[in-house]
Amino acid sequence: MNITYIHMIFTIKKLMQKILYEELKKEENLESHSGDNDSKELNEKDIILSDNIALMNYLKISIGNNEKESLCILYLDIRNKLIASDVENYGTIDRIGIYHREIIKRTLELNATGIVISHNHPSGNCKPSKADILLTEQLNKICVNMGIKLVDHIIISRNNHYSFYKNALI
């Protein structure tokens, strides 16, 4: 394959990521639908992350097709509006190192009040492993102690996803 085509493919992928990221921010797809958000407490039942097409498309483009496990963290404000997104592509074919300290540090730097973590399963099987469940439980405990909301942990693949929130694991 010609080098020019390879660069073009990577450029298109980056462009799609940027478009979907801006769509998430612009349309406020992560916001609660509870009416006047300034005066009401967030209601977890109103958060529609796993049904959100823009979010799933963003995650699929960002990490869903990667051949190695990768991590995406979405940082949210008090209204669940997207502040920032970090993608780390440093995993192996079946593992990724997730460092609680670094996640919390970045969350505090951004003044985020909530996070969504997502990682991919290159195998296509989105069922969480015991390690995924343990990691999520540990991160959730740390977040609670720090006053941060772990909104969801989503496992993504090319054609599927799994939400810890929708499956009552958070």
Strand partners, 155: 119, 162
Res 54 pLDDT > 60: yes
Residue 133's pLDDT is what?
93
Domain that includes residue 56, residue range: 3-33+42-163
Res 27 pLDDT > 80: no
Taking residue 142's Cβ as centre, other Cβ atoms within 10 Å add up to: 15
Residue 64, domain member (yes or no): yes
Residue 128, domain member (yes or no): yes
Residue 168, domain member (yes or no): no
27-41 mean pLDDT: 43
Residue 107, domain member (yes or no): yes
Q: Which residue, among 103, 113, 115, has the nearest Cα to 150 in the 3D structure?
A: 115
Res 24 pLDDT > 70: no
Whether pTM > 0.85 for this model: the answer is no
Residue 125, domain member (yes or no): yes
Residue 9, domain member (yes or no): yes
Q: How far apart are CA 70 and CA 86, in angstroms?
A: 11
Residue 25, domain member (yes or no): yes
Q: How many distinct structural domains can be found in the chain? A: 1
CATH number for the domain spanning 143: value is: 3.40.140.10
Residue 169, domain member (yes or no): no
14-41 mean pLDDT: 53
